[in-house]
């Protein structure tokens, strides 16, 4: 696929060069060839994936993706949009961008990382410059933590040397062996260079369930007192979140120097989803699979989900995570 695009770039470039040589004036031809040569990298990167941004990130496109595909997360939307566009438009950031996304499963954390990756690299999560680490997959044994630390440092150093605008996503932070994440602290700090490599343009995204209960408490308080969930502000969450994550033995950040040293730029809360949000997920999924939205099916899928707390049944306990498999049943 990559080769194909590169070949296409060459094919398209070839006629320009040939046409430029046709005129009798050698000077003109030379100028044409030179221009072709100079604009080659830009043209090449237009067709093949290159490090950095393929097209410059568009705030509108990112906003549109978040609006159309992420539901019930007004806080996350706002923080992500501002943090990512602000960082990418800064020509000389002082440190890499570090986002820590928190919330129940199925609330959209993985989804948001995917959207960010796709808005920066055409290949999204499959891009050569986007690296996903899943704790239980890449770092399964707590006893190997020393080995993992060395490995992780080598990987990050290697990848950032090859491409300064690399994206690293750490999923299941809450299942990371304690202390492992501190291995990357030197890369996240305010240093111009570490061992001749500058990490300041890289992006680190951490995903975890840690703090989800704290987020749920706040959301439930708002719901019980009849206040709109959209009135929840970041400051209702942020401080409590960073403290609870830091003090949670199972957070992957337990007593981590990343938090103690304020190296996480944003703690982004993902609120638990309500019935109406599940329906939105089902509708979008039906559309994306090429079906016409059938409200009867939408309701039936949403009705199958389980909700908590037991008495009030407000929030879906798996978010939108399993609606997709449940939908299969109705569409087949
Ligand atoms: C990793 O951990 C496993 C199980 O604890 C152990 O058998 C293995 O030798 C360790 N590998 C290294 C390279 O330390
Ligand atoms: C980049 O990271 C990947 C893991 O995502 C690793 O397998 C690879 O070796 C790293 N590349 C370099 C040059 O270190």
Q: Which residue has the tokens 């060395």?
A: 150
Q: 59-270: what fold?
A: Rossmann fold (3.40.50)
Which ligand has the shortest distance to the CA of 149?
1
**Using one digit for the tens of pLDDT, what is the confidence trace for 306-318?**
999 989 999 999 9
Q: Between the CA of residue 99 and those of 89, 91, 280, 299, what are the distances in Å? A: 17, 19, 26, 34
Q: Is 103 annotated as a binding residue?
A: yes
Q: Which residues contact 91 (CB under 8 A, 6 or more apart)?
A: none
Mutate to test the pocket of ligand 2, among 150, 155, 197, 199 (most ligand atoms within 8 A of CB): 155
**Using one digit for the tens of pLDDT, what is the confidence trace for 173-204?**
888 888 898 898 889 988 888 888 999 999 99
* Domain extent listing, the chain: 4-48, 59-270, 275-331
Helix (H) or strand (E) segment spanning residue 180: none
Assess whether the C-beta atom of 225 lies below 6 angstroms from ligand 1.
Answer: no
Q: Is 104 annotated as a binding residue?
A: yes
Q: Omega before 316 cis (within 30°)?
A: no
Residues with CB under 6 A from ligand 2: 131, 154-155, 158-159, 162
Assess whether the C-beta atom of 143 lies below 6 angstroms from ligand 1.
Answer: yes
* 8 A C-beta contact, residue 72 and residue 273: yes
**Quick check: helix, strand or coil at residue 147?**
helix
Rounded distance from Cα 169 to ligand 1 centre (Å): 24
Q: Nearest 5 degrees, angle CA 269-CA 270-CA 276?
A: 150
Q: Which atom of ligand 2 is nearest to the CA of 132?
A: 5
Per-residue pLDDT at 260: 65
* 8 A C-beta contact, residue 307 and residue 317: yes
Q: Is 276 annotated as a binding residue?
A: no
**pTM of the model as a whole:** 0.84
Per-residue pLDDT at 257: 66
Per-residue pLDDT at 16: 38
Q: Which atom of ligand 1 is nearest to the CA of 143?
A: 5
**Which of 50-54, 255-259, 327-331 has the lowest average pLDDT?**
255-259
**Which of 12-16, 164-168, 291-295 has the lowest average pLDDT?**
12-16
Q: Is 98 annotated as a binding residue?
A: no
**Using one digit for the tens of pLDDT, what is the confidence trace for 154-165?**
999 999 999 999
**Using one digit for the tens of pLDDT, what is the confidence trace for 120-134?**
998 999 999 999 999
């Amino acid at each position: 696929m990559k080769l194909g695009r590169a070949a296409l770039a060459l094919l398209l470039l070839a006629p320009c060069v040939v046409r430029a040589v046709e005129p009798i004036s050698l000077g003109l031809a030379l100028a044409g060839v030179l221009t072709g040569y100079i604009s080659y990298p830009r043209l090449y990167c237009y067709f093949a994936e290159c490090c950095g941004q393929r097209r410059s990130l568009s705030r509108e496109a990112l906003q549109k993706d978040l609006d159309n595909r992420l539901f019930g997360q007004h806080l996350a939307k706002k923080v992500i949009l501002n943090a990512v566009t602000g960082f990418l438009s800064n020509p000389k950031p002082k440190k890499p961008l570090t986002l820590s996304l928190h919330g129940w499963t199925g609330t959209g954390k993985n989804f948001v990382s995917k959207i960010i990756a796709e808005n920066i690299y055409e290949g999204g999560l499959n891009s050569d410059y986007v690296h996903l680490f899943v704790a239980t997959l890449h770092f399964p044994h707590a006893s190997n933590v020393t080995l993992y630390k060395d490995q992780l440092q080598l990987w990050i150093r290697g990848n950032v040397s090859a491409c300064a605008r690399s994206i690293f996503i750490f999923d299941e932070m809450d299942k990371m062996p304690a202390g492992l994440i501190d291995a990357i602290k030197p890369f996240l700090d305010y240093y111009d260079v570490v061992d001749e490599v500058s990490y300041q343009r890289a992006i680190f995204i951490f995903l975890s369930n840690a703090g989800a209960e704290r987020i749920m408490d706040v959301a439930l308080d708002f719901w019980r007192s009849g206040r709109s969930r959209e009135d929840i502000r970041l400051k209702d969450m942020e401080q409590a979140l960073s403290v609870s994550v830091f003090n949670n033995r199972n957070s992957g950040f337990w007593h981590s120097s990343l938090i103690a040293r304020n190296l996480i730029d944003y703690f982004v809360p993902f609120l638990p989803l309500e019935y109406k949000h599940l329906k939105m997920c089902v509708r979008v999924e039906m559309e994306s699979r090429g079906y016409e939205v059938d409200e009867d099916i939408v309701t039936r899928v949403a009705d199958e989900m389980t909700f908590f707390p037991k008495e009030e049944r407000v929030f879906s306990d798996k978010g939108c995570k399993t609606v997709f498999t449940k939908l299969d049943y109705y569409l087949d």
